[in-house]
């Protein structure tokens, strides 16, 4: 199938095979950080998926050694300055809101909000070689994007709290040893396995897939707005601190 290029070249959309569509994030300039181009491309991609009743499963992946890197330095600075809020453009829960099942083929690094975004999918595949981190507190501000809820739901209380409070990085093979409930594979096997899973899902009737996903996703969808409200309130209390600005300026990318 030919790739259907989005208005943003940083995000492409193409039908892999009957019923299976793949979104590829490839903003090399930002290492798949949440640049305007990447966010706009993701919003447009999921909008097109919603409009196509022939598709029954989605694979979301990145390029080379990057899945998604979360907020760019410029985005974090606008949040610190109070000129924007992470909930003003919702890309983080697109996989949760999608009617059909989504598989996060996290073949590369998942950093901060990028890692959180991947966890909203119905299936998650990790790479042994890649690093995954909820590193919000590295910069001195509290987690956003529903991280305080979705990490607990997907990883368990102990590991989720450790990741958020310590802001440490974890290789996929280390998370595998910690017992994460996801397949952790060599990087080269992540996308092929995701497509295999998508093929299995897409063999089912779309109407039934939508009904079951709506049922399974309902508790997360219902809880999320209040979690986001609480996280925004924490940001208002913590993000404006001068120490946070200094950390963003000096530690970003390290």
Give the burial class of 183: count Cβ atoms within 10 A of its Cβ; 0-12 exposed, 13-18 middle, 19 or more buried.
Answer: middle
Q: What is the 3-state secondary structure (H, E, C) of 63-85?
A: ECCEEECECCHHHHHHHHHCCCC
Confidence of residue 6 (pLDDT cuts 50, 70, 90): low
pLDDT (mean) for 98-109: 98
CATH fold for domain 4-187: 2-enoyl-CoA Hydratase; Chain A, domain 1 (3.90.226)
Q: How many CB atoms lie within 10 A of CB 254?
A: 5
pLDDT (mean) for 90-94: 91
Residue ranges covered by each domain of the chain: 4-187
Confidence of residue 7 (pLDDT cuts 50, 70, 90): low
Residue-level pLDDT at 122: 98
Model confidence, pTM: 0.93
- The question of whether 235 is a catalytic residue gets the answer yes
Confidence of residue 1 (pLDDT cuts 50, 70, 90): very low
Confidence of residue 84 (pLDDT cuts 50, 70, 90): low
State pLDDT tens for residues 63-74: 999 999 987 788
């Amino acid at each position: 199938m030919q790739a259907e290029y989005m208005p943003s070249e940083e995000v492409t959309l193409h039908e892999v095979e009957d019923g299976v569509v793949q979104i590829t994030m490839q903003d090399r300039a930002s290492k798949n950080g949440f640049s305007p181009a990447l966010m706009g491309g993701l919003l447009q991609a999921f909008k097109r998926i919603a409009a196509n009743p022939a598709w029954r499963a989605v694979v979301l992946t990145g390029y080379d050694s990057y899945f998604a890197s979360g907020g760019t330095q410029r985005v974090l600075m606008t949040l610190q300055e109070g000129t924007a809020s992470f909930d003003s453009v919702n890309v983080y829960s697109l996989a949760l809101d999608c009617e059909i099942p989504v598989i996060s083929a996290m073949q590369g690094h998942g950093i901060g909000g990028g890692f959180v975004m991947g966890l909203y999918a119905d299936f998650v595949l990790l790479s042994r070689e890649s690093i995954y981190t909820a590193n919000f507190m590295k910069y001195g501000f509290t987690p956003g994007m529903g991280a305080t809820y979705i990490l607990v739901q997907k990883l368990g209380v102990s590991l989720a709290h450790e990741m958020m409070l310590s802001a440490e990085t974890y290789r996929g093979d280390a998370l595998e040893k910690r017992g994460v409930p996801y397949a952790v594979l060599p990087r080269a096997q992540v996308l092929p396995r995701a497509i295999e899973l998508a093929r299995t899902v897409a063999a089912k009737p779309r109407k039934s897939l939508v009904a079951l996903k709506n049922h399974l996703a309902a508790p997360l969808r219902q809880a999320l707005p209040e979690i986001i409200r609480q996280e925004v309130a924490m940001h208002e209390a913590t993000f404006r601190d001068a120490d946070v600005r200094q950390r963003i300026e000096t530690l970003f990318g390290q």
